[in-house]
Chain A
């Protein structure tokens, strides 16, 4: 039986992990390598590095960080942020990433999914989607959730999987930052449509939210969060104990 995965996300800018509050007032939190180390020791099943680079120099700092983490932490690493071309895949895979997530890059050029999957295999291509309810429908947003695309999110997911995306990260803009729990309804809908692993993102505020996630959405494979792990509101080790006590398979 596969374990349900707990995935901390690290937003990296200029070689540091940053965390904004309500998309504003981005503040420096810590060194990504030491944070990755802590997560690994707590029992994180995978790490996601999100590159929120603003310049070429910062991009090099990002790949330095990635190489350093990949050199001492031997769990799957996913990289996202600014991935627009197959060359971007090559760049991060060469620095130790195992999976690469595409979001706005796939919206700008849908063929990126298929081309990357052909070259590196579907297991390597993660489709990350920012989704929000608009007029009662799930709509896809681009540019970190700022830009309405007019695309139906569920249809987008189905097309992405059809073209070779091997995993989906569903980030609900409606629940993101609210800390009231994952977007169960949105996740249930997605899980009924696709047969690749689904990672739930957006809304986790406490350990119990992960229990609710895996109980209410059996098709969800993983839960992802950033700030609650960063600020030690939830300790991954304790979270996994709680999941285990609730009959949910976890790697302990």
Chain B
């Protein structure tokens, strides 16, 4: 059973639909007892880091997720959910993240070619920098769908994949059973479904 962490951030329609399409049992819940019974968790998210972080802290969900991750339960953060796994963010002020993955969320603006548009929105191809079970069904160069203005910087050895946007933009991170994708696997066609299926088998 996959538990999708519901903390009021983002549209969960596609994520639920893609898990259903893959025949993967899942629940959407904000109840930590219920989520604790799941054998893996997905942390979605769209929007501002600070707001999302405050919601997680307000409900005690931040401590719960950290504890679940430390206990070895597979966790996948998507988009903002990935950035929340990092040590922090520089989006509208400095914020602490969950600290499960190396690095901080920093603005693309200033780091990329100034002629390129922000947000980095659309299909970009993956370059794998490290072998990971999350990508056991994926191929080098596969296209996935991104929408973001901040990216994981200085993620060091936790980077699993990058996408070229004049600089290598962190596309996926992982440490142990904790994973994060900056792109949306639930919006990335067949390439994305393969990643969700691999996560369900981690």
Contact = CB atoms under 8 A, between A and B. Distances in A.
Contacts of A242: none
Given A3-B123, A74-B187, A197-B117, A96 B165 contact: no
Interface string B19-49: 0110000000000000000000000001100
B87 interface: no
Contacts, number: 77
A121 B11 contact: no
A157 B53 CA distance: 34
B150 interface: no
A93 B11 contact: yes
Most chain A CB atoms below 10 A, which of B14, B124, B188: B14
Give the size range of A's interface with the partner. 20 to 34
A5 B124 CA distance: 11
A75 B125 CA distance: 15
B123 A2 contact: yes
A251 B121 CA distance: 14
Interface string A65-76: 000001110111
Give the size range of B's interface with the partner. 20 to 34
A1 B164 contact: yes
Given A71-B21, A96-B14, A76 B187 contact: yes
Contact of A72 (B21, B118, B125, B147): B21
B124 A123 contact: no
Contacts of A14: none
Interface string A144-173: 000000000000000000000011000000
B13 A95 contact: yes
B132 interface: no
A74 B13 contact: no
Given A74-B17, A122-B119, A123-B121, 6 more contacts: A1-B165, A3-B123, A96-B13, A96-B17, A98-B14, A196-B117
Interface of A: 1-3, 5, 40, 45, 70-72, 74-76, 93-96, 98, 121-123, 166-167, 195-197, 221-222, 251
